[in-house]
Structures are given as C-alpha cells and as structure tokens.
Amino acid sequence: MDSQFDVIIIGAGPAGMTAAVYATRAGLKTAILESGAPGGKMVKTYEIQNWPGIKEISGADLALQMFEHCTHFGAEYLFGEVVQIENEENVKKVLCQDGTVYYSKAVIVATGTKERLLGIPNEEKYTGRGVSYCAVCDGMFFKNKTVTVIGGGNAALEEALYLAELAEKVRIVIRRDVFRADPIIQDRILNHEKIQIIKKHIPIEICGDGQKVTGIRLENVEDRSCVDLETDAIFPYIGADPCTEFIQDLNILDERGYILTNEKMETSVLGIYGAGDCTHKILRQVVTATSDGAIAAQSATSYIKG
C-alpha cells in the first residue's frame, strides 16, 4: 500500500469528502483517512431538509452519494485512527494508532465533533443498554415504548421527531423554558401528539435494574426538587466537542479545542488546514462544512503547486 500522497484528508464527513472531490479534480494524489463510516454525523441524521436542491433526504443517503462522488475521481479511502501529525520541513507525517505512517505535502483536518456526555451517575453503565447517542441507530429497539431526549437544539428535536415515528411516547427535557432549535422544527414538535416537553429540568441520574435503563431522575433548576420518571431509553443531545486531541501539540487550537483558521482555511502551520465542524466557526451545518472542504482543498492545491 502506498503511503505517500500530495494531500491527506483526515475525516470523511461532508467537509472531508468535499475536499477530496476538489483535490482529486485538481490532479492531487489524495487519501481520505477515516476511523469510522463515511458521512460523519450525516449517517446518524434521520432527515436533512436544508441541503440546496433536495427538499428532503435521509442523512445516510446523502452520505452515500457524497462518498461515491468523492471516490469517483480517484481519492483513496483508508481506514485508520490518527494519533499524531508531525510537521517536518517539506512533508507531513501522519501517524495512526495501529502504527501505520503516511506522508503528504499537505493535510486537511476535517474530523468533526463527538457527542458530549451528560456526566451523571450510571450513564456509562447503561450506554448501549438504554442510553444511546444515535436515534437512527438504536430507535427501532424502543418501538412502542417510552423514550426521553435530553436537549433543546436542532439535533435533539430532529431526533425526537424521528423517535416519535417509532415510540409510543417521547419526552424532551430542556434546561430552560425555550428551545434553541429553528422555529420550523419547534412548530413540528409543539404540534406532535406523541411528544411531551419538560422545561426547566436537568437530568441528574440514570436509573436501571442492573441490566437496562428503567428511568431517569430530573432536578428542577429553580427549586431543586427532584422527580423520577419511567423511561425505556435516554437519548442525550446536549452539544459536542471537537475531535482534535491528536493535534494539540501544533498550537493551532482555541481554548475549546477548535481549529483556528483564516478565510482560506489555513492554520498557522504551513500546509495544514482545517475544515468543517472541528474548526472555530459560527454555523455548523452540512452546507457550511462542504464550503470549508472546498476552500481547504483549493488552498492546499495552491500551496502544493507553488
């Protein structure tokens, strides 16, 4: 297997796959390094309604279309979890967990984000046994049952709508008395007969019988009173953190771990670029990720070709 490339793209979400399209069409020998399935969070998204030109499409279907497109022009798709990037004078050394080493003239980091944990008792114990961070993956296990979604943003409400197609009852627990999601999604939630909204509460403990989740304990944020609710599953959607631990020593991250880039998606390290949700930005959406990927690939092409 060849280990030398013009550009290595780390991450196969919408940003990484778009970068691969632009890099290969520019004639660069391109590799995509991914530790999971192509598509990133799109694979876990039930429905996408804001991709221009397509009124409605499942995240998995859009991910598959992008993957077929990004490999069509010759990008090599490689499996591996990157643990470090070494910046040498004219080459970037990409080290993987299994000991594999790849070399390239430029690197585009498009690793996205990972779901934030609730950090409450029994969360880890019951992960995979009623606690899930992917409604599309695990929702079918709770058909005709009661499920609880934690969070008030777009992701939480979108997943609640998906779960409502399967479950008998869906609860949404939010810390405040208002949602953070887009108004169009809020309207669908508020008018759904299967969905109950619990405001001004936070989860403080997951309850179970030793084998699976049986309930959740909530605390009122105003008077600190507690209530125990029966539920068969808990789906936390309280935000995400960037997957950038492997580049902490390059001094290109902000205090939260997001990659700092300029308008060309360049970092302060020559030949290393950021793209997508793992970068410091205002809006994290599929369409903004693809924009980042295109710009990063164009910048890398200009850098490599001098």
Q: Please give the radius of gyration of the chain, using alpha carbons only, rounded to the nearest integer.
A: 21
Say whether pLDDT at 2 is over 70. no
Say whether pLDDT at 134 is over 90. no
Residues paired with residue 286 on neighbouring β-strands, in sequence order: none
Q: How far is CA 132 from the centre of its chain?
A: 15
End-to-end Cα spacing for the chain: 27
The percentage of the chain sitting over the pLDDT mark of 70, rounded to a whole number, equals: 99
User: What are the boundaries of each domain within the chain?
Assistant: 4-115+240-304, 135-236
Q: Give 10-31 pLDDT, tens digit per residue.
A: 999 999 999 999 999 999 999 9
- Phi, psi angles (nearest 5°) of residue 197: -110, 125
Do the Cβ atoms of 142 and 168 come closer than 8 Å? no
Nearest CA to 286 out of 295, 296, 275, 297 is that of: 275
Q: Give 63-103 pLDDT, tens digit per residue.
A: 999 999 999 999 999 999 999 999 987 899 999 999 999 99
Q: Which CATH class is domain 4-115+240-304?
A: alpha beta
The residue type at 175: R
Residues paired with residue 149 on neighbouring β-strands, in sequence order: 172, 235
Question: How far is Cα 166 from Cα 18, in angstroms, rounded to an integer?
Answer: 33
pTM for this model (two decimals)? 0.83
The pLDDT score that the predictor gives to residue 119 is: 95
Residue 139 DSSP one-character state: G
Residue 55 DSSP one-character state: S
**CATH topology of 4-115+240-304 equal to that of 135-236?**
yes
Q: Give 108-120 pLDDT, tens digit per residue.
A: 999 999 989 999 9
pLDDT class for 306, splitting at 50, 70, 90?
confident
Question: How far is Cα 197 from Cα 253, in angstroms, rounded to an integer?
Answer: 37
The pLDDT score that the predictor gives to residue 46 is: 78
- Phi, psi angles (nearest 5°) of residue 95: -105, 135
Question: How far is Cα 120 from Cα 85, in angstroms, rounded to an integer?
Answer: 34
Question: How far is Cα 204 from Cα 14, in angstroms, rounded to an integer?
Answer: 35
The pLDDT score that the predictor gives to residue 83 is: 97
Per the prediction, the chain carries an average pLDDT of: 95
Q: Give 289-299 pLDDT, tens digit per residue.
A: 999 999 999 99
Residue 215's contacts (CB-CB under 8 Å, 6 or more residues apart) are 206, 207, 208, 228, 229, 230, 231
Question: Between vectors from CA 153 to CA 60 and to CA 151, what angle results, nearest 5°?
Answer: 100
Please tell me which residue in 2, 6, 70, 137 is annotated as part of the active site.
Answer: 137
Say whether pLDDT at 44 is over 90. no
Please tell me which residue in 2, 6, 98, 134 is annotated as part of the active site.
Answer: 134
CATH superfamily of 135-236: FAD/NAD(P)-binding domain (3.50.50.60)
Nearest CA to 248 out of 108, 83, 100 is that of: 83
Question: How far is Cα 111 from Cα 304, in angstroms, rounded to an integer?
Answer: 22
Please tell me which residue in 2, 96, 98, 138 is annotated as part of the active site.
Answer: 138
Q: Is the dihedral of CA 296, 293, 113, 278 positive or negative?
A: positive
Do the Cβ atoms of 150 and 131 come closer than 8 Å? no
The pLDDT score that the predictor gives to residue 48 is: 86
Q: Give 185-241 pLDDT, tens digit per residue.
A: 999 999 999 999 999 999 999 999 999 999 999 999 999 999 999 999 999 999 889
Q: Is 209 a catalytic site residue?
A: no
Nearest CA to 175 out of 196, 205, 150, 195 is that of: 150
Q: Is 187 a catalytic site residue?
A: no
Question: How far is Cα 249 from Cα 247, in angstroms, rounded to an integer?
Answer: 5
Say whether pLDDT at 1 is over 60. no
Say whether pLDDT at 135 is over 70. yes
Residue 272 DSSP one-character state: E
The pLDDT score that the predictor gives to residue 292 is: 98
Pairing, β 92-96 against β 82-87: antiparallel
